[in-house]
Amino acid sequence: MTSSLAQRLEALKARIRRAERAAGREEGSVRLIAVSKTQPPEALVAAYGLGQREFGENYLQEAEAKQDRLAHFDIGWHFIGPLQSNKTRPIAARFAWVHGVDRIKIAQRLSEQRPAGMPPLNICLQVNVSGEASKSGVSPEELPELAAAVAALPRLRLRGLMAIPAPTDAVEAQRAAFRAVRRAFEGLSRYGLDTLSMGMSEDLEAAVLEGATLVRIGTALFGARPPKA
């Protein structure tokens, strides 16, 4: 039986609350970003009707179409996909948050292109704690230099770190990866960061136990995505 979006959202929020409790953390300390990539605008409208206000999108063109359709909704848009330097201008103009920044060149472009009338663009630096398993993300060794450079850019606000560790079913391995992200985060305390963007449908509990403040959830909310063409 397929459950309704309302049921899945309730179940997901219950999972997050349980994880917060297990971690000894305050209820409501973890924010839910609904990852709506590949979902039609109607799915976002339905989630919005259930109170969801923040959405994550990976593909710029697809996101632009939804943003235009949903311009009259009060949505916080998060860009969570891979960043290409020829696409930074619309991203800087259309999103409140960008999660996958791992190069200074991209950050400089986003800062230069953030329109003057908008508040600074919120940035999470993507850190790669899985070594060879992932091509994107800055290494923990190179992170301090990138963080210092991004923190100095005028139209960006450095908020924290984002990570997508190599998938594994082993909860201890999930936790070890998220712990490495948290340690990197703690090493940047001088910047007053407040956001640890980590945890997806399969590993949100481990992420919350290790300090995630924001989880990015697609499948557990909207159901399985169609395979990518």
- What residues line the site for ligand PLP (CB under 6 A)? 35, 37, 58, 80, 164, 200-202, 216-220
Please report where in the chains the tokens 């697609």 appear, as a residue.
218
Q: Which amino acid is at 132?
A: E
Q: Provide the minimum distance between the beta carbon of 193 and ligand PLP in the complex, in angstroms, as a whole number.
A: 19
Contact 13, 35 (CB under 8 A): no
C-beta of 58 vs 67, nearer to ligand PLP: 58
Distances in Å between the Cα of 134 and the Cα atoms of 3, 128, 130, 137, 139 are 33, 7, 6, 8, 10
Residue 181: name the closest of 158, 218, 213, 149 by CA: 213
Q: How many residues does the chain have?
A: 229
Q: Provide the minimum distance between the beta carbon of 36 and ligand PLP in the complex, in angstroms, as a whole number.
A: 10
Please report where in the chains the tokens 């704690």 appear, as a residue.
129
C-beta of 82 vs 192, nearer to ligand PLP: 82
CA distance 165 to 198: 9
Please report where in the chains the tokens 């839910």 appear, as a residue.
32
Beta strands in 76-203 (DSSP E): 76-79, 97-101, 121-126, 156-162, 195-197
Q: Provide the minimum distance between the beta carbon of 136 and ligand PLP in the complex, in angstroms, as a whole number.
A: 10
Q: Provide the minimum distance between the beta carbon of 197 and ligand PLP in the complex, in angstroms, as a whole number.
A: 8
Q: Provide the minimum distance between the beta carbon of 152 and ligand PLP in the complex, in angstroms, as a whole number.
A: 26
Q: Provide the minimum distance between the beta carbon of 199 and ligand PLP in the complex, in angstroms, as a whole number.
A: 8
Contact 229, 212 (CB under 8 A): no
Partnered with residue 56 across adjacent β-strands are 35, 78
Residue 54: name the closest of 204, 185, 217 by CA: 217
Q: Provide the minimum distance between the beta carbon of 163 and ligand PLP in the complex, in angstroms, as a whole number.
A: 9
C-beta of 119 vs 227, nearer to ligand PLP: 227
Q: Which single residue brings its beta carbon nearest to ligand PLP?
A: 218
